[in-house]
Amino acid sequence: MDVSKFAKKELLAMGGGSSTRAAVTPDPKLINLGAGDPDFNQPNFINKAVYDAMKQGHTHYEFTGVPEFKNAIAKYYAKYGVKIDPNTQLCIDSGGSQAIFRAFGAILNPGDEIILLDPAYQGYFQPAAYFGAKMVRVAMKKDKKGLWRPDVPAIAKACTPKTKAIMICSPDNPTGAVYTEKELKALADVCIDKDILCISDEIYTEFIWGRKKFIPTMSIKGMEDRTLALMSFSKTFAWTGCRAGYTIASPEFSTLLNNVPIGIIGMPVPFQYAGAAALEKGWGFVRKMRKEYKKRIDFSVKRLNEIKGIKCAYPEGTFYVFPDISEVGMPAAKFGQELLLQEKLRGAPGTGYGQAAEGHIRFALVDKMDRLEDAWNRVEHFVKKNGKK
Ligand SMILES: Cc1ncc(COP(=O)(O)O)c(C=O)c1O
């Protein structure tokens, strides 16, 4: 049956589906560095905490999140210098994606504008389109090290009376940039001057390399009430399938977020208890993952830079590399398709994140070192065979 007569027009306009691990046809030779799904499994004590919570009868309605979970989140965020009231400043969701949907749903009317940087995580596009908002893309700029930075004057210029918010991501997927205090302050000036909000995606907080440190947007003067900070357990605790996330906002915005009608609460109660356990006892596991990701990044950046035609900046955060492949002389989408076809290696072409990222491809370092070694050998072989001579 043709559903177009019945469908919400914004949904029809979106077209195709998403690419996850499961969507890829299983092929033993395939190395899938496309999706950012950690190859670590969440530790058993977390799984057990879910079961224990169920055994203890924590299986009932809970309208705004259980206190144990909300207190643990507030304690965690205080580590970064932001004190929040767990009772009035949190909105619990089943993952960062739901938090994005809820934040957009709370503020965007059809015709409103939201500033999305270019490149930006694709998960912002569909919710913005779904709510009928106009996405105003502002290209990031590369610095001397080849790292992408927000172009604050261009962001200010892109604001109109219809602009409701700017969406940022630090540490940034796909670029690996971690915003400096100076950048955040400059962005805050724009938000205050133009009277707009900042939706701050902070889900890669625990994956920062070198001397960079995480600065919550909410910690910047004047941004306490203007920030909706989105968090997720997907990357922090390798929890992509179990779904856990939350938004930190002012009490007024939290009320608004909790009014978005997507069920009484987004995250099953037993998992909230497990979330509290993870925030209390999960840091050894996070350290282990971090050590391994760092090793993978060190190796991958060095190895990719050895390949003629490829330039790979060292990411300040996240577990992605986002090499510049423009000298290979092939559009990013074709590079991605052919790499998959010829070498059975999957990456995510830069243009999926925006036109500014033409000539780039993102690889998620979610496989073991020997497999990564194999992957970069495949890239080298591919480039030698198909690249500009
Ligand atoms: C920047 C960013 N935000 C949000 C998400 C969504 O995460 P979740 O799995 O919690 O829905 C992702 C997932 O890759 C992401 O990279």
Tell whether ligand 1 has an atom less than 6 A from the beta carbon of residue 240. Answer: yes
Indicate if the pLDDT at residue 11 is higher than 90.
no
More confident residue, 273 or 26: 273
Q: Please give the residue that has the higher pLDDT: either 8 or 256.
A: 256
Pocket residue to mutate for ligand 1, from 91, 97, 242, most atoms within 8 A of Cβ: 97
Q: Is pLDDT at 87 greater than 70 in this prediction?
A: yes
- The structure tokens 């691990």 sit at 21
pLDDT tens per residue, range 180-229: 999 999 999 999 999 999 999 999 999 999 989 999 999 999 999 999 99
For residue 180, what are the CA distances in angstroms to 34, 230, 318? Answer: 28, 18, 15
Nearest CA to ligand 1 atom 13: 36
| pLDDT for residue 17 | 54
Confidence of residue 28 (pLDDT cuts 50, 70, 90): confident
> Does the pLDDT at position 22 exceed 60?
no
pLDDT at 25: 60
Centroid of ligand 1 to alpha carbon of 97 (angstroms): 6
Please tell me if the CB atom of residue 234 comes closer than 6 angstroms to any atom of ligand 1. yes
**Ligand 1: centre distance to CA 76 (Å):** 19
Q: Is the CB of 366 under 6 A from ligand 1?
A: no
Best mutation site among 18, 124, 206, 234 for ligand 1 pocket (most ligand atoms within 8 Å of CB): 234
Ligand 1 centroid distance, CA of 173 (Å): 9
Ligand 1 atom, smallest distance to 239 CA:
9
Residue 14 has pLDDT above 80, yes or no: no
Answer yes or no: is the C-beta of 329 below 6 A from any ligand 1 atom.
no
Q: Which residues lie across from 33 on neighbouring strands? A: none
227 CB within 6 A, ligand 1: no
- Residues 33/239, Cβ–Cβ less than 8 Å: no
Task: Pick the residue whose CA is nearest to atom 1 on ligand 1.
Answer: 173
Question: Which ligand 1 atom is nearest residue 35's CA?
Answer: 14
Return the pLDDT at 16.
62
Q: Residue 262 pLDDT > 60, yes or no? A: yes
pLDDT digits (tens, 9 = 90+) for 300-347: 999 999 999 999 999 999 999 999 999 999 999 999 999 999 999 999
What domains sit in the chain, N to C, each tagged with a CATH number? 9-42+284-386 (3.90.1150.10), 44-281 (3.40.640.10)
CA-proximal residue: ligand 1, atom 4 (nearest): 96
E strand or H helix at 155, and its extent? helix 152-158
Q: What are phi and psi of 303, to 5 degrees?
A: -65, -45
Indicate if the pLDDT at residue 26 is higher than 90: no
Calculate how far, in angstroms, residue 203's C-alpha sits from the geometric centre of ligand 1. Answer: 7
Q: State yes or no: pLDDT of 21 exceeds 60.
A: no
Ligand 1 pocket member 169 (CB < 6 A)? yes
Cα–Cα distance list, 323 to 66, 179, 380 (Å):
42, 19, 13
Ligand 1 lined by 36 (C-beta under 6 Å): yes
For 376, the 3-state DSSP assignment is helix
